[in-house]
């Protein structure tokens, strides 16, 4: 009986195909046999290609072919699937899904297909790139050696990021993951780095707030915002990061520019793909995710790199965001992403609740590439910082038992408290690298030891304001990425000490 029903459906599809006047750019017409969520089963499209775009129904809604079986095809609807019914016609386009690329996208808000969402008119595209593209071969890549400054002291000093790196940002809900990424984009203002913010499954109001922050910071003209909201289909959410990456690859390959791309977030992306796969009747595996869930993220993040000059010379730096539950970094999707990326920035809900913002857990966070790209002056002043801070946290835990402490231990605790204070930073307040060098140098050399802990924040602002005036040549040397000599460090220490002493505190650096 099932076989007879299938034969009748196939016959109906053939009749529809005969009665339809086919467009010049189409080869076949199929018919919808079933609609499950945003997944469409269809027959009559024997020559359909994988990831080919199709037009469905009288409204010609877009879809993409994913399952190519012997007797039917599985199509993911990209638009309102509620308007699609069994019996609707499907027309091939003979086009693999592509998105517009070029300078016309800068400052714009688009969907996963590159269509405008901001009401500013059509996109003027330089070219159109396939959404799914092969990553650059190893022989076309160059070592990461240029820093990507985030403007956040806790990252630039301890967990450095280089241009062309993939650094995962992970943590529980509401711990400031998006804030770290947005601050990094804001910090690229005026330095020629093209930024792409890809919002996947987020609330529309949250994405609108991020876009508004870009406008307030004056960085919107160098940002492309790709949005696949929570109300969009799983297909659009799945497609969004690949589309955003193709847009970035144009600037990296054709214009030799540095690109920063934020995927917010890949946990939602994985869930959208799981939903698609289950509707496509692909076998589920661990936690109901399909077996190729690792591959979909690997092929996305592998496209981030730094190219040799003869192959474009640009770079694509990725900051994927991943959400954890109860700080479980050993869960399925987080461990997948940790193994793909070049390091991770872990945001702790415990630190967040204590007011440590950004709430970066220095012990778990790591960068496997960026330290090679850190500017010489910063490396000279922040080299021992991570080790010292980790030791301080252990000492602090030990000191809570009320044990009598010797003078050296007490000194380490005092300094560690000042280091913790200077690593705190307000949201949307990224700092220039030369200002960070001043603050980190003051804390690590002990110049801030005589400043009361509750006044370290105010002292930091005074140092940023006054020290550059006292050491203009030294500030230029830092921004020009030159090494600091012993005399330079003495000059910096003197300038910092003068400011601290002028405020009535003791300033004595370690010898």
Active-site annotation, residues:
368
> Quick one: which H or E segment has residue 186?
helix 177-186
Report d(CA 115, CA 201) in Å as an integer.
Answer: 17
- CA 369-370-376 angle, to 5 degrees, is 130
Token digits of residue 29: 């017409």
* CA neighbor of 495 nearest in space, from 454, 453, 434, 452: 434
390: how many CB neighbours lie within 10 A of its CB? Answer: 14
Report d(CA 271, CA 252) in Å as an integer.
Answer: 29
Place of tokens 């967990």: 159
Q: Where are the alpha helices (DSSP H) in 304-455?
A: 332-340, 349-353, 376-382, 385-399, 407-423, 433-444
CB neighbours of 193 closer than 8 A, spacing ≥ 6?
148, 222, 257, 258, 259, 260
Please state whether 107 falls in left (phi above 0), alpha (psi between -120 and 50) or beta.
left
Report d(CA 469, CA 496) in Å as an integer.
Answer: 11
Place of tokens 């791309």: 261
């Amino acid at each position: 009986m099932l076989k007879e029903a299938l034969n009748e459906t196939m016959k109906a599809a053939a009749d529809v195909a005969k009665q339809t006047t086919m467009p010049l750019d189409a080869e076949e017409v199929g018919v919808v046999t079933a609609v499950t969520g945003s997944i469409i089963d269809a027959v009559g499209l024997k020559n359909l290609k994988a990831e080919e775009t199709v037009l469905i129904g009288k409204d010609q809604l877009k879809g993409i072919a994913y399952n190519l079986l012997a007797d039917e095809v599985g199509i993911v609807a990209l638009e309102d699937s509620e308007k699609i019914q069994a019996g609707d016609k499907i027309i091939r386009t003979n086009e693999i899904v592509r998105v517009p690329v070029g300078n016309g996208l800068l400052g714009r808000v688009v969907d996963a297909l590159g269509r405008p969402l901001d009401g500013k008119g059509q996109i003027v595209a330089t070219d159109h790139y396939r959404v799914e593209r092969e990553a650059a071969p190893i022989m076309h890549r160059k070592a990461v050696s240029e820093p990507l400054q985030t403007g956040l002291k806790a990252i630039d000093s301890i967990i450095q990021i280089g241009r062309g790196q993939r650094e995962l940002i992970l943590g529980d809900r509401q711990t400031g993951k998006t804030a770290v990424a947005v601050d990094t984009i804001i910090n690229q203002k005026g330095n020629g780095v093209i930024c792409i913010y890809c919002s996947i499954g987020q609330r529309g109001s949250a994405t609108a707030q991020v876009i508004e922050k870009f406008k307030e910071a004056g960085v919107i003209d160098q940002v492309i915002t790709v949005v696949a909201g929570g109300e969009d289909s799983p297909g659009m959410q799945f497609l969004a990061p690949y589309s955003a990456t193709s847009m970035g690859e144009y600037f990296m390959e054709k214009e030799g520019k540095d690109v920063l791309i934020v995927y917010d977030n890949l946990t939602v992306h994985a869930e959208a793909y799981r939903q698609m796969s289950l509707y496509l009747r692909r076998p589920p595996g661990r936690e109901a995710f399909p077996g190729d869930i690792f591959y979909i993220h690997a092929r996305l993040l592998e496209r981030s790199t730094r190219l040799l000059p003869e192959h474009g010379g640009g770079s694509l730096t990725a900051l994927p965001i991943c959400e954890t539950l109860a700080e479980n970094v050993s869960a399925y999707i987080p461990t997948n992403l940790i193994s793909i990326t070049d390091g991770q920035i872990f945001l702790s809900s415990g630190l967040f609740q204590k007011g440590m913002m950004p709430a970066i857990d220095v012990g778990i966070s790591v960068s496997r590439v960026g330290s090679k790209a850190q500017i010489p002056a910063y490396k000279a002043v922040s080299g021992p910082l991570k080790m010292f801070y980790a030791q301080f946290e252990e000492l602090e835990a030990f000191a809570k038992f009320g044990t009598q402490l010797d003078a050296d231990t007490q000194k380490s605790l005092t300094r560690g408290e000042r280091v913790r204070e200077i690593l705190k930073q307000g949201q949307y307040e990224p700092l220039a690298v030369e200002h960070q060098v001043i603050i980190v140098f003051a804390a690590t050399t002990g110049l801030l030891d005589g400043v009361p802990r509750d006044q370290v924040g105010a002292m930091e602002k005074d140092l940023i304001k006054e020290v550059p005036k006292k050491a203009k040549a030294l500030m230029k040397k830092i921004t020009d990425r030159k090494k600091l000599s012993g005399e330079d460090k003495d000059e910096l220490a003197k300038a910092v000490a003068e400011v601290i002493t002028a405020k009535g505190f003791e300033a004595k650096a370690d010898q």
